[in-house]
Homo-oligomer: A and B are copies of this chain.
Amino acid sequence: MPKFAQRMTTMEKSARVVEKLFKSMTSPETISFGGGAPAKELFPTKILQEISYELFGAPQQGQRMLQYGSPEGERELREVVAQFLLEPKGVCAVPEDIMIVNGGLETMNLICQVFIDPGDVILVESPTFVHCVEIFEMFQAKCVAVESDEQGLCMDDVEQKIRELHPKMVYVIPTFQNPSGKTLPLERRRKLAELGSRYDVLILEDDPYRDLRYSGEELPPIQAFDATGHTVLAGSFSKIFSPGARLGYVHASPAIIAKLYNAKTATNSQTSTLIQLLCAEFFRRGYFPAHLERVIDLYRERRDVMIQCIDRFFPAGTRRTFPDGGLFTWVELPGGINTTELLEQAWSYQVAFMPGEGFFVEGNGKGTNCMRLSFGNVSPENIRVGMERLGRLIADAAQGAN
């Protein structure tokens, strides 16, 4: 067999190991807070039944859905992004500066294609979203963690590391962060946009959870404060429409969009025309506001139940975040409990979670006593049952450790 490329040597991370562990645990009785999947009962199946029936039945629309489209995406969907998803958040957008991609994650890959040479430094949060780190490392970037406090990324440390390390970009999930559930406050957003402009550093703003706000005050994206085109905003339809559709979008300066167009062409030509037109029609027919309200109401309840259960079933000294939105909360356990080892015992308690260690690029045992808990795809009843099991597991492990 011919030799694999250099970039493939970085691709066997601990996250992959955890993934395998999860697969081995899969059973209908296991209650899993591990994955980040949305609640399937929320998916607009009936609406899409109606829309697909009508579009496939209209000869011109039906043929158009099945024919080649364009690398930048169908105009209708780019208009939907501008009108329904960006303008209400304070980002002034025209369809020409928007590209449709095959799911939110594809933007990170395309931005790496456009900007990352081997050895380039990327500043990331601590903890950060592990799948994007995998992408960055596949492009042979060097990921360096920036300090975080209760409110997220610390701006002093960002600036210091920019001066020291001259990174190509800063990768940040500012709203209901994955995995921590934290939200970067207004002043830090403004500051981060300024730092990008001042030091000529790209800010890659990954914002897939933005519309899922259950409490607290709406905040504009970092990009709203960017006057120089240094911020790239990556959005997704996965959490507000459907993850199985594989639809995301990127909003960036014309010069960056032009390069992304080339990278997209050389990756997979275009995103599915069929899916784009179905999704655009969902918004154009006015279904989005009521759908989003249902989604938010359901997740809010689940978040509240999850938080109550942590406070009730987890040991004294446990620290947790309170996410104002999104799908995750982050827990730091007291004592010397290693959550990666804990997960191996979890199968006999029929409960699962995501150990914290894999979310840190620093290594050094950081996050070994942490876990990410996802409440989106578990019913309130099952959250209670599963969290009680998890509490028992932790108590038993703590006893074993003593």
Contact = CB atoms under 8 A, between A and B. Distances in A.
A35 B40 CA distance: 40
Interface residues of A, number: 80
A114 interface: yes
Nearest to A12: B262
Interface in A338-385: none
A37 interface: yes
Contacts of A11: 259, 262-263, 266
B69 A45 contact: no
Interface string A29-69: 00000010110110111101100110011010011111111
A273 B134 CA distance: 23
A2 B200 contact: yes
Copies in the complex: 2
A64 B135 CA distance: 27
Contact of A272 (B112, B263, B272): B272
Contact of A274 (B3, B53, B109, B275): B275
Given A2-B115, A2-B202, A168-B2, A46 B37 contact: no
Interface of A: 1-8, 11-12, 16, 35, 37-38, 40-41, 43-46, 48-49, 52-53, 56-57, 59, 62-69, 101-103, 105-106, 109, 112-117, 131, 134-135, 138, 168-169, 200-202, 229-230, 242-246, 253, 255-256, 259, 262-263, 265-275
10 contacts: A1-B230, A1-B253, A2-B230, A48-B56, A106-B268, A109-B267, A244-B273, A244-B274, A246-B270, A272-B272
